[in-house]
Amino acid sequence: MPSQIFVNLPCKDLPRSKAFFESLGYAFNPDFTDENGTCMVVSEGSIHVMLLAQPFFQGFTKKPVADAHTTTESIICLSLDSRDAVDAIVAKAVAGGAKTPMPVQDHGFMYQHGFEDLDGHLWEFVHMSGEPPKNA
């Protein structure tokens, strides 16, 4: 059986975060959704993001939960089919209240842009349209 990935992210306001990601076109698995968390389906059968209410998230670790508005705990990077798709999801995110902490990066073979979601988590989206340059 292929591995699946479940990224777990704390959310200060779970219903608000769920509505934000729904506005970007993501669906949620109702079998894994309650007042403590929800399972966002990124890629059916392989990639999921568990948006968890912060007190529930805290129950999984003895370490303090990072405030993603002031500390970078990770950058979640997902590939998309086109540059237009990258631009579209970032535009939708900004319209829903996200920030763009970095400008668009165009490396020729790779186009990337991202946003900081409502809880400060960093999301990067890339479109690969060629091979990276060979190192000399």
Of 63, 79, 111, the residue at which a domain comes to its end is: 63
pTM of the model: 0.89
> Model confidence over 24-67: pLDDT tens digits?
999 999 999 999 999 999 999 899 999 999 999 999 999 999 99
Q: Are residues 58 and 94 in the same domain?
A: no
Please give the sequence-ordered ranges of beta strands (E in DSSP) within the chain, or none if there are none.
Answer: 5-11, 27-29, 37-43, 47-53, 75-79, 105-106, 110-116, 122-128
Interval 72-115: pLDDT, tens: 989 999 999 999 999 999 999 999 999 999 999 999 999 999 99
Which carries the bigger pLDDT value, residue 132 or residue 104?
Answer: 104
Nearest to 86 by CA among 67, 68, 103: 103
pLDDT, residue 2, reads 77
Q: Which helix (H) or strand (E) holds 58?
A: helix 54-58
Q: What is the CA radius of gyration of the chain?
A: 16
Helix axes 14-23, 83-95, angle to 10 degrees: 140
Q: Which of 6, 123, 12, 125 shows the shortest CA–CA distance to 66?
A: 12
Domain that holds residue 116: 66-136
Domain identity same for 92 and 134 = yes
